[in-house]
Amino acid sequence: MNIAVLNWRDPWHPAAGGAETYAWELARRLAAGGDRVWFVTARAPGQTRGEVVEGVRLARMGGPFTLYPLVLAWLLVRRWRFDAVLDCQNGIPFFSPWVLPRRTRVLCVLHHVHDRQFGVHMSRWLAAVGRFLEGPVSRWTYRRRESVAVSPSTVLAMRERLGWRGPIHIAHNGVSVHQPGDAGRTRQPSLVCVGRLVAHKRVDLLLDAVPALRERWPDLTVDIVGRGPEEDRLRARLPEGVTMHSYLPEEDKARLTARAWLHVSASQGEGWGLCVLEAAALGVPTVAFDVDGLRDAIRPGETGWLIPEGANLAKGVTAALDELDDAYRERCRAWAATFSWDETAGKVAALLHGEPERNRMAWPIASRVVGEEQ
């Protein structure tokens, strides 16, 4: 089949995150399976307009806002070429059904609902436009199309906050990390926070918690790995004991994470929380707020701790450090081992190829239409 994967960025974009990992892991596996795959995305400064990577043809165009009309025009010119389109929603989808023939199979992929985040990142009027496009316009555009969500939290948000009525299939994130070997934890308590440095990740809450934690453990350290628009502001207010590493290669990031006692996320909400799963694969449990996505990626009391939204993060981390034992590391690795990019790609490929019965039998969790029981 000829398949177009539409995603806001590619994995080499300087602002890439978990959504880019998800889209690329699917695209490269579809290509390896014999499909002809185009990855259509934004073009960051210094990136080429097109290239072929692992059998996937990349087509880059536009920036954060111009990307959407440019992709629609690109699709319109090639509207009869594609058998299927994976339309990934990063705030708003690409609205690909507007320019494609009805015979073209379209799957809309949602990581999480952005309605609350629009107000964090945008002006009031622009946030209102974003919510209108994400809600009523998307609901109408994809009303006859199937969708893929990465977690039960996302499904619930789609139903309740977006009014989504069509069938939704769950296809979780997989996990693939460089295993640095078991070097053991640091001698003194250490925390790591991995993720893009954007406002809704609320890294400030972790920085605010550090002084209280160091009163209990004077040698406690915190490593922050990631880059983003908040980096300079956060770097200017780092408390003692905190190191900001910006971007690290995967091997270095894994080595740093594996030595930490805990991974901490203060995010306002996620689709799933890929960093949580990657930390778990390295035997590191996570402390996070009980919010969308993170409550799915963490098994409280087994692979991490969820604290109530609005609670004191320092107290939550303190309780976790007091309870932490080696059993958490073993359970984390076992939990992460149940997720596979191969399995995720297989679920999505079955849907793109129009094989719902095969998908339902082979992957009952992914293909169940959530909402039928409501």
DSSP SS3 for 246: strand
Residue 110: strand pairing partners: 89, 149
Q: Which CATH class is domain 2-174+340-367?
A: alpha beta
Residue-level pLDDT, tens digit, the chain, 374 residues: 999 999 999 999 988 888 999 999 999 999 999 999 999 999 999 999 999 999 999 999 999 889 999 999 999 999 999 999 999 998 889 999 999 999 999 999 999 887 676 766 677 878 888 888 888 999 999 999 999 999 999 999 999 999 998 899 999 999 987 777 666 788 999 999 999 999 889 999 999 999 999 999 999 999 999 998 999 999 999 999 999 999 898 899 999 999 999 999 999 988 888 899 999 999 999 999 999 999 999 999 999 999 999 999 999 999 999 999 999 999 999 999 999 999 999 999 999 998 754 433 333 333 333 333 32
Is 297:151 a contact under the CB 8 Å cutoff? Answer: yes
| Interval 253-295: pLDDT, tens | 999 999 999 999 999 988 888 899 999 999 999 999 999 999 9
CA geometry: angle 150, 153, 157, nearest 5 deg = 105
Locate tokens 């793109």: which residue? 352
Backbone φ and ψ for 50, nearest 5 degrees, come out as -155, 150
Distance (Å, whole) CA 206 – CA 370: 35
- List the structure tokens of 166: 């069509």
Separation of alpha carbons 33 and 75, rounded Å? 23
Q: What is the pLDDT of residues 168-208, one digit of tens each?
A: 999 999 998 777 766 678 899 999 999 999 988 999 999 99
Cα–Cα distances (Å) from 157 to 168, 292, 368, 374, in that order, read 12, 8, 17, 14
- For domain 190-336, give the CATH superfamily: Glycogen Phosphorylase B; (3.40.50.2000)
- Give the amino acid at 335: W
The single-letter code of the amino acid at 45 is P
CA 91 – CA 134 distance, rounded (Å): 7
Q: What is the maximum alpha-carbon separation in the chain?
A: 65
- HSE on the CB side for 328, CA within 13 Å? 24
Rounded distance between C-alpha atoms, residue 163 and residue 156, angstroms: 10
2-174+340-367 shares its CATH topology with 190-336 = yes
pLDDT tens digit sequence for 92-106: 899 999 999 999 999
Query: Domains of the chain: which residue ranges?
Result: 2-174+340-367, 190-336
CA-CA-CA-CA torsion sign (308, 313, 318, 321): positive
Q: Tokens 């039998």 correspond to what residue?
A: 361
